[in-house]
Amino acid sequence: MIKIKSLTLSILVFFFAFSNCLAQQTRWFTLEELIPGGVDFYTFYPRHTTQYQWHGDQLVQLRNDSVWISDNPMKQTEKVVFTFSDIEDIIANGEDIYHLQFPLSADSPVQFFSRSGSGFYDIKKKQPLSFFTYPDKSENHDISVESQSLAYNISNNLYILDKNGKTTAISSEENKGIVYGQAVHRNEFGITKGTFWSPTGNKLAFYRMDETMVTDYPLVDTSTRIAEVRNIKYPMAGMTSHEVTVGIYDISTGKTIYLQAGDPKDRYFTNIGWSPNEKHLFLAELNRDQNQMKLLMFNATTGELEKLLFEEQHPKYVEPENPVLFVPKRTDQFIWQSKRDGHNHLYLYDVSGKLLKQLTSGNWDVTEVIGFDEKGNNLFFASTNPTPMDRHIYKLNLKNGKSTKLTTVSGIHNGTMSQSGKYLLDRFSSHNNPGMMYCLNTNNNKLTELTSIKNPYSDYLVPTVNSGTIKAADSITDLHYRFVKPADFDPAKKYPVVIYVYGGPHSQMVQNSWRYGSGGWEFYMAQKGYLVFVMDNRGTSNRGLDFENVTFRKLGIEESLDQMEGVKFLRSLPYVDHNRLGIHGWSYGGFMTINMLLRYPDVFKVGVAGGPVIDWKYYEVMYGERYMDTPQQNASGYEETSLLNKADKLKGRLLIIHGDNDPTVVWQNSIQFLDACIAAGTHPDYFIYPGHGHNMIGHDRVHLHEHITRYFDDFME
Amino acid sequence: MIKIKSLTLSILVFFFAFSNCLAQQTRWFTLEELIPGGVDFYTFYPRHTTQYQWHGDQLVQLRNDSVWISDNPMKQTEKVVFTFSDIEDIIANGEDIYHLQFPLSADSPVQFFSRSGSGFYDIKKKQPLSFFTYPDKSENHDISVESQSLAYNISNNLYILDKNGKTTAISSEENKGIVYGQAVHRNEFGITKGTFWSPTGNKLAFYRMDETMVTDYPLVDTSTRIAEVRNIKYPMAGMTSHEVTVGIYDISTGKTIYLQAGDPKDRYFTNIGWSPNEKHLFLAELNRDQNQMKLLMFNATTGELEKLLFEEQHPKYVEPENPVLFVPKRTDQFIWQSKRDGHNHLYLYDVSGKLLKQLTSGNWDVTEVIGFDEKGNNLFFASTNPTPMDRHIYKLNLKNGKSTKLTTVSGIHNGTMSQSGKYLLDRFSSHNNPGMMYCLNTNNNKLTELTSIKNPYSDYLVPTVNSGTIKAADSITDLHYRFVKPADFDPAKKYPVVIYVYGGPHSQMVQNSWRYGSGGWEFYMAQKGYLVFVMDNRGTSNRGLDFENVTFRKLGIEESLDQMEGVKFLRSLPYVDHNRLGIHGWSYGGFMTINMLLRYPDVFKVGVAGGPVIDWKYYEVMYGERYMDTPQQNASGYEETSLLNKADKLKGRLLIIHGDNDPTVVWQNSIQFLDACIAAGTHPDYFIYPGHGHNMIGHDRVHLHEHITRYFDDFME
Nearest-angstrom CA–CA distance, A247 and A258: 4
pLDDT given for residue A6 in this prediction: 37
C-alpha to C-alpha distance for B671 and B656, rounded to whole angstroms: 10
Q: Are B573 and B580 in contact (CB under 8 A)?
A: no
| Confidence (pLDDT) at A323 | 98
CATH architecture of A3-45+457-715: 3-Layer(aba) Sandwich (3.40)
CB contact under 8 Å between A690 and B674, yes or no, is yes
pLDDT value of position B302: 97
Give start-end residues of each CATH 2.140.10.30 domain in chain B. 136-323
What are the pLDDT digits (tens) for B670-684?
999 999 999 999 999
| Phi, psi (deg, nearest 5) at residue A305 | -75, 120
For A82-101, give the secondary structure using H, E and C.
Answer: EEHHHHHHHHCCCCCEEEEE
Residue A88: what pLDDT?
80
The rounded distance, in Å, linking the Cα atoms of B608 and B585 is 7
Which one of B615, B675, B700, B715 makes the best mutation probe of the A interface by having the most chain A beta carbons within 10 Å? B675
pLDDT score, position B3? 40
pLDDT score for B93: 67
Set of chain A residues whose Cβ sits within 8 Å of the Cβ of B226: 215, 217, 234, 236, 239, 668
Fold of B3-45+458-601+613-643: Rossmann fold (3.40.50)
DSSP alpha helices (H): ranges in B180-224? none
Contacts of A681 in chain B (CB under 8 A): 703, 706
Contact of A685 with chain B, judged by CB distance below 8 Å, is answered with yes
Whether residue B487 lies within 8 A of chain A, CB to CB, comes out as: no
- Every domain of chain A with CATH number 2.120.10.30 lies at 331-453
A17: Cβ contacts below 8 Å, ≥ 6 apart: A46, A434, A435, A453, A454, A455, A456, A457, A514
Q: Report the CATH superfamily, name and number, of domain A331-453.
A: TolB, C-terminal domain (2.120.10.30)
pLDDT on residue B24: 57
Cα(B96)–Cα(B114) distance, integer angstroms: 6
How many CB atoms sit inside 10 A of residue A668's CB?
Answer: 26
Instruction: Give CATH 2.120.10.30 domain extents, chain B.
Output: 325-453
Share of chain B above pLDDT 90, in %: 83
User: B325-453 belongs to which CATH class?
Assistant: mainly beta
| Residue in A666, A678, A703 nearest the CB of B681 | A703
Q: Which CATH superfamily is domain B136-323 in?
A: Dipeptidylpeptidase IV, N-terminal domain (2.140.10.30)
The verdict on a CB contact (< 8 Å) between A683 and B215 is: no
Q: What is the pLDDT of residues A292-302, one digit of tens each?
A: 999 999 999 99
pLDDT of residue A89: 76
Cβ atoms of B189 and B271 closer than 8 Å:
yes
Give how far B138 is from chain A: nearest CA, Å.
30
The fold of A139-323 is: Methanol Dehydrogenase; Chain A (2.140.10)
Q: Per-residue pLDDT for B83 more than 90?
A: no
* Average pLDDT per block of 10 residues along chain A, 717 residues long: 39 37 70 93 70 93 86 83 80 77 89 89 85 94 93 98 94 97 96 97 98 96 94 96 98 96 95 97 98 98 98 98 96 96 98 97 98 96 98 97 96 96 96 94 92 82 96 98 97 98 98 95 97 98 98 98 98 98 98 98 98 98 98 98 98 98 97 98 98 96 98 96
pLDDT at A24: 57
Arithmetic mean of pLDDT over chain B: 93
Interchain contact A707–B (C-beta under 8 A): yes
- CB-based burial of residue B175 (10 Å sphere; 0-12 exposed, 13-18 middle, 19+ buried)? exposed
Alpha carbon distance A321, A318 (integer Å): 10
Q: What CA–CA distance (Å, rounded) separates B403 from B425?
A: 19
Task: Check residue A9 and give its pLDDT.
Answer: 37
What is the pLDDT, as a whole number, of residue A47? 63
Element (H, E) at B283: strand B280-287
Closest Cα to residue B711, out of B691, B678, B682, B684? B684
Predicted pLDDT at A4 = 36
Residue to mutate among A215, A220, A221, A648, with most B CBs inside 10 A, is: A220
Q: How many CA atoms lie within 13 A of B462 on its CB side?
A: 23
Residue with the bigger pLDDT between B292 and B23: it is: B292
Q: Which of B168, B194, B157 is nearest to B251 (CA)?
A: B168
Task: Test A229 with B215 for CB contact under 8 angstroms.
Answer: no
Q: Which helix (H) or strand (E) holds B701?
A: helix B700-715
Task: From chain A, pick out residues whose CB is under 8 angstroms from the CB of B691.
Answer: 675
B47 pLDDT tier (thresholds 50, 70, 90): low
Residue range(s) of every CATH 2.140.10.30 domain in chain A: 139-323
Spatial CA neighbour of B56 closest among B386, B431, B373: B373
CA pair distance A163, A91, nearest whole angstrom: 15
Residue of A nearest to B698 (CA): A679
Question: What residue ranges of chain B are covered by domains with CATH 3.40.50.1820?
Answer: 3-45+458-601+613-643
Nearest CB neighbour to B227, from listed A218, A226, A686: A218
Contact present, A148 and A201 (Cβ < 8 Å): yes
Q: How far is residue A267's CA from residue A147's CA, in Å, rounded to a whole number?
A: 32
Q: Which of A565, A395, A400 is nearest to A471 (CA)?
A: A565
Instruction: Annotate A303-353 with DSSP letters as a single string.
Output: --EEEEEEEEE-SS-----S--EEPTT-TTEEEEEE-TTSS-EEEEEETTS
Work out the minimum CA distance from A699 to partner chain B, whole angstroms. Answer: 8
Residue B522's nearest CA partner among B480, B582, B579 is B582
Pairwise CB contact (< 8 Å): B681 & A706: yes
Query: In angstroms, how far is CA B82 from the centroid of its own chain?
Result: 34
Q: Inspect the interface and report whether the beta carbons of A690 and B671 lie closer than 8 Å.
A: yes
Q: Provide the pLDDT for residue B80.
A: 84
CA neighbor of A464 nearest in space, from A437, A491, A500, A443:
A491
Residue B282 pLDDT exceeds 80: yes
SS3 A712: helix
Q: Quick one: pLDDT at residue B19?
A: 36
- A691 CB within 8 Å of a chain B CB: yes
Find the CB nearest B226 among A215, A223, A681. A215
Q: What is the pLDDT of residue B16?
A: 38
Mean pLDDT is lowest, of A99-113, A270-284, B78-92, B539-553, for B78-92
pLDDT tens per residue, range B100-136: 899 998 888 899 898 889 989 888 888 888 889 999 9
Which chain B residue has the Cα nearest residue A679?
B700
pLDDT digits (tens, 9 = 90+) for B294-316: 999 999 999 999 999 999 999 99
Q: What is the DSSP letter of B105?
A: S
A711 CB contacts (<8 Å, ≥6 apart)? A606, A608, A653, A655, A685
Distance, in Å, from the CA atom of B1 to the CA atom of B622, rounded to the nearest integer, reads 9
SS3 B394: strand
Is A678 close to B687, i.e. CB distance below 8 A? no
- Provide DSSP, B517-563: G--HHHHHHHHTT-EEEEE--TT-SSS-HHHHHTTTTSTTHHHHHHH
Give A-chain residues touching B717 at CB under 8 angstroms: none
Q: A672, B218: Cβ pair inside 8 Å?
A: no
B697 interfaces chain A, CB cutoff of 8 Å: no
Which pLDDT does position A502 carry in this prediction? 98
Name beta bridge partners: A631: none
Q: At what angle do helices A700-715 and B668-680 cross, to 10 degrees?
A: 90
Q: What is the ipTM of this complex?
A: 0.92
Task: Identify the DSSP state of A528.
Answer: T
Chain B: closest CA distance from residue A540 (Å): 29
